[in-house]
Amino acid sequence: MTIDIICPLYNAEKYIKDLDAILKKQKNVEIKNINYLLTESKDNTENILKELNCKYEIIKKQEFSHSLTREKAAKKCTADILVFITQDIHILNENWLHNLVGCIENGECVASYSRQICSNKTIEKYTREKNYPEKSFITSEKDIEKMGLKVFFSSDASAAIKRDIFIDLNGYDGKDLAASEDMYITYKIITNGYKVKYCADSVVEHSHVLTLKQLYDRYYNIGAFFKENKFFNNYKVGKAGGGLALYVLKRAIQDKNIKAIIRFVPDMSTRLIAKKMGEHFGKRNVNKK
């Protein structure tokens, strides 16, 4: 099957050369197009794209949307499979893409997403461990009772979907989602009777060092997403949040990671408070890039 890659960019000069190079080195796949969507930037990203002879489109900063920008690009694509990535992933080998889309090509599922690992020693290292285990698995509608809301988890930092399914499901329904657009489309895939695969052998490094303010903004937007899409409240949350926090604390103690232990309470409190505030007050324009 042919593949179109969609990658939003913003002030991406420190990422783009290495990212573009490894994309073009992927083995045993047929990449039709790599589509870069460049939000108006202050750095040298556009000049680098020109030097590399890349296909790109300029997006006005006020017009960028995590969902609509991707949806618009996807509807222009003609390949069999759409692959969504973000600028800040580090693809670890030349089989990443083959390992991501192989399950779609062989009919196991219609969508998939990669394992993410974190190279720094922040709390994110442990949340990645918990959310992205070492073993692959497939989820479908039959797993809703057991997994609840977690069945809709995925990440378009590195994800794939059959283009015809994306189009038939009407993508993100024209909604301007400030966060969790990947959960939104996964919900539609699962509840329409299709399967999604987590591909543990398709690995990317994806690391952040966020301030508490940046963390607040991120989780506020997640809360606003749930306020806007109340149907997710019909699915049980279970012990996912508490289980994640306990896992993080346990692992930080095991590693004797003093910085992560000190950060634990303010970090987890910020996530909880921000999500609750977003659920209460709804959408606002933060982190729109």
Alpha-carbon separation of residue 22 from 12, 15, 57, 104 (angstroms): 15, 11, 21, 21
Tens-place pLDDT, residues 155-167 = 999 999 999 999 9
Tens-digit pLDDT profile for residues 240-269: 557 899 999 999 999 999 999 999 999 999
Q: What is the pLDDT of residue 133?
A: 96
> Residues 72, 50: contact at Cβ < 8 Å?
no
Please list, in sequence order, all residues whose beta carbon lies within 8 angstroms of the beta carbon of residue 194, skipping any fewer than 6 positions away: 109, 110, 111, 140, 165
Least confident of 55-69, 124-138, 225-239: 225-239
- Residue 61 has a pLDDT of 92
Q: At what angle do helices 123-131 and 258-281 cross, to 10 degrees?
A: 70
pLDDT given for residue 289 in this prediction: 38
CB-neighbour burial class of residue 51 (10 A; exposed 0-12, middle 13-18, buried 19+): exposed
Q: Report the predicted TM-score, pTM, of the whole model to 2 decimal places.
A: 0.94
pLDDT tens figures, 35-68: 999 999 999 999 999 999 999 999 999 999 999 9
Domains of the chain: 2-205 (3.90.550.10), 212-281 (no CATH)
Position 285 pLDDT exceeds 90: no
The pLDDT, as a whole number, for residue 241 is: 57
Q: What is the 3-state secondary structure (H, E, C) of the chain?
A: CEEEEEEEECCCCCCHHHHHHHHCCCCCCEEEEEEEEEECCCCCHHHHHHHCCCEEEEECHHHCCCCHHHHHHHHHCCCCEEEEECCCCEECCCCHHHHHHHHHHCCCCCEEEEEEECCCCCHHHHHHHHHCCCCCEEECHHHHHHHHHHHHCCCCCEEEEEHHHHHHCCCCCCCCCCCCHHHHHHHHHHHCCCCEEEEEEEEEECCCCCCHHHHHHHHHHHHHHHHHCHHHHHCCCCCHHHHHHHHHHHHHHHCCCHHHHHHHHHHHHHHHHHHHHHHHHCCCCCCCC
Which pLDDT score, from 0 to 100, does residue 283 have?
79
